[in-house]
Amino acid sequence: MKHLFITALGLLWSTLLSAQLYVEGTLLTPSNTGAYMEIRPLRNSDKSFLISVDYGQRRSQRPFDCLTDDKGRRYEFHSAVDALNFLYDNGWEVIAVYTVQEMRRYLLRRR
């Protein structure tokens, strides 16, 4: 019984840890993001994608605030859909898609 409890606790802990999103090293929480955020896929020269995130934060000195890990290392995705699947797995859903200055943007809502 003790072994089952420890295993269940470990699974819960790993699920909670994997559901954390960061933007330039800042943890996104309901208190600092609200219910919505806008993302823009940015194509790198190697054809991978970074994801620029606007959750209403003050702008940093960088031209774009991107999804990162907890150490501030930027995530690179294979495609925009790869990034959208990652965000869905982390509790966000797309509610609108639109284009501004020939750049596709996605409005996401916390699930």
CB atoms within 10 A of CB 70: 12
Predicted TM-score (pTM) of this structure: 0.77
Residues 6+ apart with CB under 8 A from 70: 20, 22, 25, 27
Judged against a pLDDT cut of 70, whether residue 25 lies above it is answered with: yes
Burial of 23 (0-12, 13-18, 19+ CB in 10 A): buried
Q: How many Å apart are CA 84 and CA 4, to the nearest integer? A: 34
Residue 16, Cα to own-chain centre: how many angstroms? 15
Q: Tell me the pLDDT of the chain averaged across its residues.
A: 85
Q: What is the pLDDT of residues 52-94, one digit of tens each?
A: 999 988 766 667 899 999 999 999 999 999 999 999 999 999 9
Judged against a pLDDT cut of 90, whether residue 95 lies above it is answered with: yes
**What domains appear along the chain, each with residue ranges and CATH number?**
21-110 (3.30.1410)
pLDDT at 64 (0 to 100) = 87
Q: How many Å apart are CA 24 and CA 1, to the nearest integer? A: 42
Confidence label for 34 from pLDDT (cuts 50, 70 and 90) = confident
